[in-house]
Every structure is written in structure tokens, then in C-alpha cells.
Amino acid sequence: MLPRDELRDELLSTLDCALAARPSDNGDPPVVGFDECVNNETLWKAVIALLHRGLLSGASPLWQKKRIRSDRSIVYVHGGVNRHFPATEFEGVEDAKATWPDEWVIAWLLPYLRFHDRLILVTEDAKIDPIHDPNGLHSLLLDVVAPVLAERHANRFSLTTLFKKSQTNWKEYSARMSHFAEQGRFDLGYSEMYL
């Protein structure tokens, strides 16, 4: 578990380093980070289409899946295993008990700010429960990331979280995410939308 203070310090350090290395905005299109809950083929296809059109600079999953081989050794697979490929001994089988905490998702997203001024986080995880889940994704974004971007770097960096509503199907969500990227209007600091 990464404490909130450490996450805040990491974000401040990342942004300060980015400003030192790149004093002005490079104007590149945003990078998309995928939370595990949106590991969806329809969404990936929409992102690939945006990449081909030059509307995104890159895309990456923000988690790893812990898997166990037959000899009990462990391997972590970035973004999980593609179900369209036959399973091999190398990647073993998924450890159903293993989790990837929300603070790790944010910690994996933050380094992209060293090279890109605009980020998009796609996720289904819109729960806000500061009492029972103080380290939930939404709580951390609102309580840690948003204040840092507003206090120190709101004039330069942009992080937009696109939450998928439960009633929105994947085709609709992918189309709305694509429309958002096509518009090219990224609020400075932290913002979020429910699609």
C-alpha cells in the first residue's frame, strides 16, 4: 500500500522533473491509461484507431496480473494475458486472489507526465467511499491528485478521468471516449467525466 503522502510526494516530484526537462508544453496529443476494469477489446480498438489518426500519443494498461506457473514460480504480466492466444507454460494461470490496488494504478499513470502534458484515464471504478475505501481510485484522484494539479501545476498539466457509467455499453463508451479525444479540449488540472 502506497500512503497518500508518498503518492502526493511522487506526483510533485514527477511534475517538477517534467517542468525542469520540458519548460514549455510540447503540444503532443494525450496518452491514455487503462484501468484493469476497462480491459475491453472494443475500447482497445477505438484507442488504436485514435492512435492511427494521430489523436493520441500512446496507450498503456496500468496494472499487472499475477500468474503462477506449474513449478509454483510467479510471473507478472503487464495488462494481463490476451485471451485470443493459447495459454503457455510461461505465463501460467491467473492468481484469482491477487489484486492490483488503486494507488498502484495512479502510481503507474503519473510517470507519463514526465513526457506528456495531457493524460486520459479510462475506468469503470467510480465508487466514492472515503470511510470504507479511503484508498479507492476516485477518492485518491479527488483528494491527492486534483489538489496537487490545482495548487502547483494547473497552468500546464491535464488529467481527465473518463468514468464508464454502468448503464453505458462498451460500444457507446468507446464512441464517447473517441469523441472526447477528437474534440482536443483538455481542461488544465484534474477533471472527470461520466460517459
The string of pLDDT tens digits covering residues 71-85 is: 888 777 766 655 555
Q: Is the pTM of this model over 0.85?
A: yes
pLDDT recorded at residue 21: 87
Distance (Å, rounded) from C-alpha 48 to C-alpha 82? 16
pLDDT, tens only, 134-193: 778 998 999 999 999 998 887 789 999 999 998 999 999 999 999 999 999 899 999 999
68: DSSP letter: E
User: Does residue 94 have a pLDDT over 80?
Assistant: no
Closest to 38 in 3D by CA, of 123, 95, 119, 114: 123
Query: SS3 for 151?
Result: helix
Q: What is the fold of 4-63+100-194?
A: Rossmann fold (3.40.50)
Q: What is the mean pLDDT of residues 114-128?
A: 87
Every domain of the chain and the residues it spans: 4-63+100-194, 64-98
DSSP H helices in the chain: 4-21, 41-52, 102-109, 137-140, 146-151, 170-183
Q: What does the pLDDT read at residue 66?
A: 78
Q: What local confidence, expressed as pLDDT, does residue 86 receive? A: 56
